Structure 1
Amino acid sequence: MATKQNPSKVDEFTERLRDSVDEMKPKLRGWLHAATAPLALISFLVLLVLTDSTVARAGAAIFMFSALLLFTVSAVYHTVKWGEGVKQVLRRLDHSNIFVMIAGSYTPFSLLLLEPRQAT
């Protein structure tokens, strides 16, 4: 088997593949997310002005926090060329924040539209 006889070829192929993926990384993604992060904060301020209940404000705060976290971490990850260790940590955070954003965008609806017993 080629991989057991010569693992260096597999390592070389893996490294070349990783470099190719890095080259294909979208160039504007980080900058678009950097521009979107302040919009998350502005949307929170608008929602604070428009809401009249504490529960709605709590939902807006949860949404704002999740959106701000998602866009800020993504901007940091995608705009700078990081070393391999930092890059792996930021990639995990970036991908994990997708789930945080899903929960953060669903929570306001849960708080406002579901019966209190169902919302928790």
Structure 2
Amino acid sequence: VLPRPRWRGVMHRVAVPATVVAGGWLVSTAPAGRDRVGAAVFVAGALLMFVASSLVHLRRWSIPVWEALFRFDHAAIFVLIAASATPIGVSVLEGRSATLLLWAVWIGAAIGVGLRLLPFHPPKGLMNSLFLALGWVPIVVAPDLFRGLEPLAILLVVVEGLLYSGGALMLGARWPDPYPEVFGYHEVWHTLVTTAVAAHFVVVALVVTA
């Protein structure tokens, strides 16, 4: 059994209290109503994902426990993707575009969660492909999205999309793997994910305080 990198899961464990503090501020400062609801959904999704990831990477678990936590981890990623789109759908978009985005991401997330909780092992690469597909669903409302967001928010959305997509490809390739005993390919993935979530936090803050 290969040794676990010493940084395995550390970044996401640190992100848990950071999300509680920053998320509490974001939700409390968002205007009451749809803006606050959208912000709260995003914060809850981010917190769920960081908690799930922290648990699965906390230690070497028995195989049954690890498999259960691993499924929970993947399910939480689907929830985060839909939760990230929610404040955009409720605070930026209107009418048909908002309805289309929200229904698409949450139905997609529900399907993904359902698939991941079924008692079978998906083919290698399937989960990453589903994550990427669901993550890029907002592109169907890109014109309305770009009209509703300020330039900085648009830039951050593009950057986080590249971080998530590039990170998923790197995770699948298990490259780069700079310091396998300390900071390996999975830590690179966690770094990109944490950075992308932080970028989206700024996007949501810009949206709900506009």
TM-score by length of 1: 0.73
Give the distance between the partners of 1:29 and 1:36, measured in 2 at CA.
Answer: 13
- Cα deviation code 1:68-114 (max 9, x no counterpart): 11001111110121100010111111122222111111111111011
Per the alignment, do residues 96 and 56 of structure 1 end up closer, same or farther by CA in structure 2, a change over 3 Å counting? same
Aligned counterpart in structure 2 of residue 110 of structure 1, from 49, 69, 89:
89
C-alpha spacing 1:38/1:114, structure 2 compared with 1 (3 Å): same
- Whether 1:78 aligns to 2:72 is no
Matched, 1:87 2:87: no
Corresponding residue for 1:58? 37
Higher helix residue share: 1
Q: Larger Cα Rg: Structure 1 or Structure 2? A: 1
3-state SS in 1 of match to 2:57 = helix
Between the aligned partners of 2:31 and 2:73, the Cα distance in structure 1 is: 33
CA contact (8 A) 1:29 1:75 kept: no
Q: Secondary structure at the match of 2:35?
A: helix
Change in CA separation of 1:84 and 1:41 when aligned onto 2, cut-off 3 Å: same
In structure 1, what is the Cα distance between the partners aligned to 2:65 and 2:27? Answer: 36
Corresponding residue for residue 100 of structure 1: 79
* Gapped regions of structure 1 (runs ≥ 5): 1-18
Q: Distance in 2 between matches of 1:29 and 1:104?
A: 25
Residues 26-81 of structure 1 deviation map (CA, whole Å, 9 limit, x = unaligned) = 43232211110111111221112321131111011111111111001111110121
3-state SS, counterpart of residue 9 of structure 2 = helix
Count of matched residue pairs: 99
37, 48, 51: which one pairs with 1:69?
Answer: 48
Q: Is 1:36 paired with 2:38?
A: no
Runs of 4+ in 1 over 3 A off after TM superposition: none
- The two structures, once aligned, show a CA RMSD in angstroms of 1.6
Which of 47, 59, 62 does residue 26 from structure 2 map onto? 47
In the alignment, the residues of structure 1 paired with residue 48 and residue 56 of structure 2 have an alpha-carbon distance, to the nearest angstrom, of: 12
